[in-house]
Amino acid sequence: MFDMLDFDPATVDEAGLIDRIAQLERLKATAAAAQARLTAALDLKRRTAEADAGIPMRKRGLGLASEVGLARRESPTQGSRHLGFARALVHDMPHTLAALESGILSEWRATLLVKESACLEVEDRRTLDAEMCADPTTLIGKGDKRIEADAKAIAYRLDPHAVVDRARRAHEDRCVSIRPAADTMAWVGILLPVAHGVSIYAALKRAADTTCDGRSRGQVMADTAVERITGRPADTPVPVTVDVVITDETLLGGDTEPARIPGYGPIPAAVARHLIGNAVGDERSRATLRRLYRHPKTGALVTMESRARLFPTALAAFIALRDDTCRTPYCNAPVRHIDHAVPDSRGGPTTALNGNGLCEACNYAKEAPGWRVRTRDQHGCHTTEVTTPTGTTYTGKAPPLPGRNTEHVTSIDVARFRVVVCRAA
């Protein structure tokens, strides 16, 4: 493997470079198969050990998906997908596993087969596995959509009722999500039953077809979506709150240091000033400034504490602003829970130092046997150490606030502002 990676591309002709690209792609698939085998073996060992220890069936394997995600430097959600993928391949789909191991299938295409067979009974899943992958040559030349379509067709033939039932239950997964896009934009996604999704798109398309005011079709459709969801024109302030963490130099002195919107990320200084200026200048808006304090060298928020067992509102807001997203390493999910790193039941104090902002999955995972979370102040930066039942430790640090760090710490009384933009109804 290392011989394949240790070469000078300048000494290889074009055909040789293509050959090495193909070889590395097969190697990636082989590695994915090996990871699946190891993950399934870990799952079996953990559940067997917990059964021997008398742990109830429903609690066995708790937190294992998060461990897998940490080991692969991915989120707990991705860890759960990898764990389910490994179980299916190793125990139910040997032909798919063999095709992955040989490099004929990529990890994603093997995942598509696992997904499309998930609603079937074990025997039917094995039949689909054999029909799709027992003869690996039938997979040559098939892309993602073709493999997915073939698997859907076989699944429906084997158990049409299971496929239909899965489609009926899918509406329970409907949800709305948001993620940052380039240039201070955002992607907002809505997962809906197909009839609702098609009707929404048709309504927006119809609005674009009948509007001629200089905007593009995409702009009209986007503005129409905003107007119909909020009940207001797209250029009218809506009753929402936007938190902008910005330095006083950027806000008042024209500095170029980026600001930060919690849960979104950094935005250019000019964009932040424009957002705040619009809010201040709009009679229907109310803008307030709340001073925060950052460590001049590390950029971390200063600590505060409470004697309460539950985190008070102000302290919880402080931790959420400090952490921005879930503090488990590699997990960027929104903060849903503010919890103690060292539990209150074991003497953990209700302080900013012992507090962590976590998503629901990570907060529940750390309650599994063998997990340990420790926090410390490392040179003025809040640091979280997560140790899993295998003894492996992962470290993550709170992101710094906007502002330039200095070499010499003379004071921690450096003012920073949290601009809360409240748009009134």
pLDDT in tens, 347-389: 888 888 899 999 988 998 988 889 999 998 887 788 999 999 9
β-bridge mates for residue 243, sequence order: 420
Lowest mean pLDDT segment, chosen from 184-193, 285-294, 345-354:
285-294
> With b meaning 16 or more CB within 10 Å and e meaning fewer, what string describes 270-283?
ebbbebbeebeeee
The DSSP line for 320-371 is HHHH-B--STT--PBP-EEEESS-GGGT---BTTTEEEE-HHHHHHTTSTT-
Domain locations along the chain: 2-169, 175-230, 313-397
β-bridge mates for residue 104, sequence order: none
CA distance 328 to 79: 13
For residue 421, pLDDT beyond 80? no
CA distance 171 to 258: 40
Lowest mean pLDDT segment, chosen from 56-65, 90-99, 191-200, 401-410:
401-410
For residue 153, pLDDT beyond 80? yes
Give me the pLDDT at residue 102, please: 95
Give me the pLDDT at residue 417, please: 40
User: Could you say which DSSP state residue 233 is in?
Assistant: -
CA distance 314 to 40: 44
For residue 41, pLDDT beyond 90? yes
Which pLDDT band, with edges at 50, 70 and 90, does 136 fall under? Answer: very high
Query: Do 350 and 344 contact (CB within 8 A), yes or no?
Result: yes
pLDDT in tens, 230-265: 887 777 655 445 566 666 666 666 677 777 776 677
Residues 6+ apart with CB under 8 A from 359: 76, 326, 328, 331, 333, 334, 335, 336, 337
Q: Which pairing describes strands 355-358 and 337-340: parallel, antiparallel, or unpaired? A: antiparallel
CA distance 301 to 323: 10
Q: Which residue has the higher pLDDT, 181 or 393?
A: 393
The DSSP line for 100-112 is HHHTSS-HHHHHH
For residue 405, pLDDT beyond 80? no
CA distance 246 to 238: 22
Give me the pLDDT at residue 236, please: 64
pLDDT in tens, 312-344: 777 788 888 888 889 999 988 888 899 899 988
For residue 202, pLDDT beyond 90? yes
Please give the C-alpha separations between residue 357 and each of 9, 41, 60, 378, 382, in angstroms, as whole numbers: 46, 32, 26, 18, 12
pLDDT in tens, 85-98: 999 999 999 999 99
Angle between helices 107-116 and 144-158 in degrees, nearest 10: 20
Give me the pLDDT at residue 162, please: 92
β-bridge mates for residue 292, sequence order: 416
CA distance 225 to 219: 10
CA distance 96 to 130: 8
Which pLDDT band, with edges at 50, 70 and 90, does 301 fall under? Answer: low
For residue 25, pLDDT beyond 90? yes
Give me the pLDDT at residue 199, please: 92
